[in-house]
A and B are shown apart, each in its own frame.
Chain A
Amino acid sequence: MQSLILTTTTRLLAALLLMFSVYALLRGHNLPGGGFIGGLIGATAFILYTIATSEIEARRALRVGPSNIAVVGLGIAGLAGLSAGLAGEPFFTGQWLFLFAEDGGKGLPLSTVLVFDIGVYLAVFGGILTLVFALEEEI
């Protein structure tokens, strides 16, 4: 079904949703949000696009196969856990880097926890889209 209203709004909404999903991912460490919810929101953008156009169009827009994205996410999450080993600490211990930290302040805190969350984001994003595309497929 082609609906002019839906296709037009989707163009705006999909971009907004993708941006918001990254926002939710990044604020997730201390506030509500994180990789899982971010991945879901990101997937929603493409689901909306699928409904407005077609599954084939959405696949083309995504460029990379969704299941590959999910698996790469799994790998990133695993590597984030392994990185603790380089510092000689147990598996999955968070490693922190405080960029531009001046006396007392934390500067810009970067951590392997965020890398893990990005892995989760990709895994959820890819996983959900794999399912949705499979269901939307026209045989």
Chain B
Amino acid sequence: MGIIRSLSQLLLVCCLLWPALASAQVDDSQAQQLLTALAESSFKEKKSVVNQIAGSGDDRARTWLEAYGDNKLGRIESSGDFIIVLKNRGRNWTVQSALSGENLGEISRRDIDTIRVNNALRNELEGILSVIDLKSPDEDNRLTAARALKGSVDDTLAERVPDFIAAEESDAVQAALTEALAIYQVEEQGDVSAVATLSGSLNSEARAALQQAQNSDDPALAAAAAKAMESIEQKLKMNRAAETLYFGLSLGSVLVLAAIGLAITFGVMGVINMAHGELIMLGAYTTWGMQQLLPGQPGLALILSIPAGFLVAALAGIAIERTVIQHLKGRPLETLLATFGVSLILQQLVRTVISPLNRTVITPDWMSGSVMINEGLSLTLNRMYVIGFALVVFAGLMLIMRKTRLGLEVRAVTQNRAMARSMGIKATKVDILTFGLGSGVAGLAGVALSQITNVGPNLGQSYIIDSFMVVVFGGVGNLWGTLLAGLSLGTINQLLEPWAGAVLAKILVLVLIILFIQKRPRGLFPQKGRAAEG
């Protein structure tokens, strides 16, 4: 009985509605009939009903089918109204009307009949949904749908895809569709001419199709596929190299940021500041604090924390200089110990006052996400910002050291303190300002680091040894050396990582530096002249 009834309903739907389906919208009673047909027909018939719904051109069709595929399209037993389940946890489900889209609140699970779906239908639905998307007026939607089609084109879709290609205006969508079709042709039909389309494609489905074709019995196809694979391998290799370079540069710029403040205090002033890492940490915590003060505006808070982080770290640095370091002038080893004590105190201070746990710093929208270079390679935005930020900070420091009065005085005091003083330079003032500058830059590093790593009390410790390595490797007192050393150490680390693993790569880099220092004790760019003595 049920089958006959549903069949008759189906027939009714087909006869009555077919002309109406061509138009863009269906009215609610027709929609109700379509959905009833879907609910009451057998799995075999459901397939054609689904196609009808898809062909109806109704705006709501996509929502219905998507919900149906997810087992979320249903009917209220009592009223026969169709609903879409929004939340299906617990005893009561939140639902909305399928026809009007109105939220109906919570309804007991028992009162809802979900329309059943099976795996064959689900596969069908996937293709149908992407076809609906391919008709979408929005180009981005079409592109996403076209990309999703790669590897999921089947016999029925394959017949329709050429029409879409012909009708498509956007080149990108067209290319994606052509590739999707070519994957189908290679995989299912062994079409040699389609292999050329896939040559150089970075899509994993395309690679899978080619790999399969390589092992085919048809020698022409196998040869063509092998050739196409070769060009893909080539491209992949380039991709990997570009990715490694990018990661290397981003790690390197982090190192540069962390080390460049140290290069000023250690290199220019000859002061070992073991608390440098904790000044970085203070900068990172300033970012966190700013975001707490300005809830809901992480972007603005981040921008404001650049000057704030600089100030906080600079003031902390000046305080350290005044209370500890100035008493230890000319005793570098004691300075090292005392500032290490300061670093312990600062760490514990953060643990006690804020929390021993990591804090979350929100990444603003304009910094998250990634830039897609091609299908196999996408670069994360936040790291790109960090690279840019490091370069800007470096350029700014170069300008200060080279072009300003302060820079001139700093260099004078570095080279010959007594002479500089007799020329009227206030050496103490220069000390304070230089130390403030170096510490402030550490704060900036902290602001940047808060975007790519956890903000916790141990943040500084994990960078201090690396930073010293960068400064020593680059040559003390040479900002260019620090830049080059930071970037190259970052890249070497990333190059070693694939075959040695992260930890071993780090060990190898440390050993390399230790060996390098034996060969060139004063770094890549040693200071020349009298300043080098001592």
**A joins B in a complex:** no
